[in-house]
Amino acid sequence: MRISVAGNYQNGNVEVATIRSKADMLYAPVQNIVFKSQNVSLYQAFYGNKADNDVFSRNYLYFQPRNKIYPFAIAYVSANFRRKIELRYFAGAGATWQIWNTPAHVFKVSAAAVYEATRFNSTVYNFSEYNGADKIALWRGTAYLGGWSYLFGRRLRLYYDAYWQPAFNNQRNYRSQFDIGADFPVWKGLSFNVLYTFMHENVVVEKIRKDDRILTFGLAYQIKRHNTSTSPATSSPAHRPVPSKIR
């Protein structure tokens, strides 16, 4: 489990309040099944006027993630105040190919198909074919790449991911996002972190911009817990805990 919280408050000539939190969890209940959950929240207000009040939860269920290629199920739930998205969810399945997986470096790509439904706080869009509907439901494809590397003798951890999601029924309905971040270890699981996120959504509510860029930094604390059983079924190299292989 990894938890981070960052924020700031300013009062006087300028009044700003920002809180951003992130909680990631990786859990392997049995040898060949792994559950991963990544959750982010963002609140921001200027002079008491809310600018952001967002949540984003992405969840995966992996089967045999030690394999070079393995299947997974996926489910996302989100809300975005700035983009006037009251609720978005999608679920589907796909497969991942681990191109590079060592203790110091991981790089993988995946592809999936998902069904998505989004409820907006508006019925007017930048593409007129969606006007009049406050909910858009469709099938999407997803192409993803991501990984991380330890550098400078593990004094720096660099991590990144990116995805592209086109709609199957409309080539103009797509979105993309990439994240790049770094962790600088401070003391016993405590680290300083910085993260840059770029988001593009091609179908948006009228007067909403397609692109968002966010730079955050703060402190993170990571907890690792491994199976300590000494039974033959878990002590041999072939049966060591799965989580470190799929972070």
Among the listed residues 57, 70, 39, the one whose alpha carbon sits nearest the alpha carbon of residue 246: 70
Average of pLDDT values for 220-228?
A: 69
Average of pLDDT values for 25-46?
A: 92
Tell me, what's the pLDDT at 236?
Answer: 37
Confirm whether pTM is higher than 0.85: no
Tell me, what's the pLDDT at 33?
Answer: 95
| Residue 221: pLDDT over 70 | yes
Mean pLDDT, the chain, rounded, equals 87
Average of pLDDT values for 158-175?
A: 94
Q: How far lies 126's CA from each of 18, 136, 196, in Å?
A: 29, 14, 27
Tell me, what's the pLDDT at 99?
Answer: 94
| Residue 49: pLDDT over 50 | yes
Length of the chain: 247
Tell me the domain boundaries of the chain: 2-245
176-216 pLDDT tens trace: 999 999 988 887 778 888 989 999 999 999 999 999 998 88
Tell me, what's the pLDDT at 228?
Answer: 54
Phi, psi at 208, each rounded to 5° = -100, 130
Average of pLDDT values for 14-30?
A: 90
Distance CA 159, CA 60 (A): 18
To which CATH superfamily is domain 2-245 assigned? monomeric porin ompg (2.40.160.40)
125: left (phi over 0), alpha (psi -120 to 50) or beta: beta
Distance CA 64, CA 118 (A): 32
Distance CA 238, CA 240 (A): 6
